[in-house]
Amino acid sequence: MRTRPLKVALLGCGVVGSEVARIMTTHADDLTARIGAPVELAGVAVRRPSKVREGIDPALVTTDATALLKRGDIDVVIEVIGGIEPARTLITTAFENGASVVSANKALLAQDGAALHAAAEQHGLDLYYEAAVAGAIPLVRPMRESLAGDKINRVMGIVNGTTNFILDKMDSTGAGYQEALDEATALGYAEADPTADVEGYDAAAKAAILAGIAFHTRVRLDDVYREGMTEVSSADFASAKRMGCTIKLLAILERAADGQSVTARVHPAMIPLTHPLASVREAYNAVFVEAEAAGRLMFYGPGAGGSPTASAVLGDLVAVCRNKLAEATGPGESAYTQLPVSAMGEVVTRYHISLDVADKPGVLAQVATTFAEHGVSIDTVRQQGKDGEASLVVVTHRAPDAALSGTVEALRKLDTVRGVASIMRVEGE
């Protein structure tokens, strides 16, 4: 066994970084045995050096991340800072200085993954990022490596724990969105500003990364259609229950039936209670992968938090260190198919539409005609009337999203339609 240690620079020492450092220290012997050489924490770059960091030698702590990367002896950089800058520049500096990189940075990978992969390849180094998607759940490596011989056609997942916690609370207690969000905040699941989670940005970044891997094509954050879940109401859950469904914020990545394009989207959707994703409770994540030869696979586990995310980072660290010792690299970007990413209008799915209408003769016929005029076939209609007003719930057969949008626009213009209370896609059937 090699005795000269592999030197690791840790960029960021928050919830995840401090856990990575702790496990590197407490499991040092196991890591050494698994890698075939000792790994040494050579420096820890932080913003606030005065903060007490238990278990970390203060002599390793620096505020000058660039100098740490440029000192010339760093083998592997672990980036757990998050955000675009300075993380992007620091990762590039790491590659320029001969270090492979393990990153948990979904936003950066979703925005600039191609350029970072190119930089890694140019320098003959690794870029690993298991922790960027769904925390501890092994997903990137199984999709990049274990399924490399198969053809993935569809990925559908719950990749944001905060929103799953909120939706699960709304489902199980009948709470409204705000009440459930308040509980998520009190328990530390939601951040003080929950926008990135509840508006679907976090899930969209993960969706872009997964779509790129699944379809061997380049998918950026801007290619992902995104709708948040702040408008989901208790009434939507009541409707979902009547249909034997629940509501989840889903990331859905699909290869078109002709195989010539892909779609990537994040939005709330009804799914049947019999679907495996319906049973994913609290802040857990789960991803359902459909591959041609393998069939249906489900990956489940904690998608966030210090320890779970550190587990994924350390798995990557071991792999990258092994590659370094073997003077090899692991898989890089695979984007050879170069499939176009289609607009949301081309996605084909089912819809649940709730309308407030006047309760008088001919209204139902008028509504049904509007659907027919836009080529959207109705599956079921449920009406409940009271004092001259009625609520009408229409569930459609599969139709293109553009056709549904056209239908809704036309419905809004009807005098007899007082309002469109909610539109929700129905998935997983």
Shortest distance (Å) from residue 417 CB to ligand HSE: 37
231 within 8 A of 290, measured Cβ to Cβ? no
Active site residues: 206
Task: Give the residue with the Cβ less far from ligand HSE, 153 or 311.
Answer: 311
Encoding tokens for residue 164? Answer: 């799953």
415 backbone dihedrals φ, ψ, rounded to 5°:
-60, -30
Among residue numbers 65 through 124, which ones bind ligand HSE (CB under 6 A)?
none
Shortest distance (Å) from residue 353 CB to ligand HSE: 29
The answer to whether 12 contacts ligand HSE (rule: CB under 6 A) is no
Among residue numbers 202 through 231, which ones bind ligand HSE (CB under 6 A)?
202
Q: 261 exposed, middle or buried (CB, 10 Å; 0-12, 13-18, 19+)?
A: middle
Among residue numbers 141 through 180, which ones bind ligand HSE (CB under 6 A)?
160-162
Residues in contact with ligand HSE, total (CB under 6 A)?
7
Distance CA 227, CA 198 (A): 9
Shortest distance (Å) from residue 394 CB to ligand HSE: 33
Task: Give the residue with the Cβ less far from ligand HSE, 304 or 341.
Answer: 304
Task: Give the residue with the Cβ less far from ligand HSE, 61 or 229.
Answer: 229
The answer to whether 194 contacts ligand HSE (rule: CB under 6 A) is no
103 within 8 A of 213, measured Cβ to Cβ? no
Encoding tokens for residue 195? Answer: 């926008």
The answer to whether 197 contacts ligand HSE (rule: CB under 6 A) is yes
Distance CA 242, CA 177 (A): 19
Shortest distance (Å) from residue 203 CB to ligand HSE: 8
CA nearest to 81, candidates 39, 125, 116, 47 = 47
Distance CA 179, CA 32 (A): 48
139 within 8 A of 115, measured Cβ to Cβ? no
Shortest distance (Å) from residue 344 CB to ligand HSE: 23
The answer to whether 304 contacts ligand HSE (rule: CB under 6 A) is yes
Query: 280 in helix, strand or coil?
Result: coil
The answer to whether 302 contacts ligand HSE (rule: CB under 6 A) is no
Interface residues toward ligand HSE, by CB under 6 A:
160-162, 197, 202, 303-304
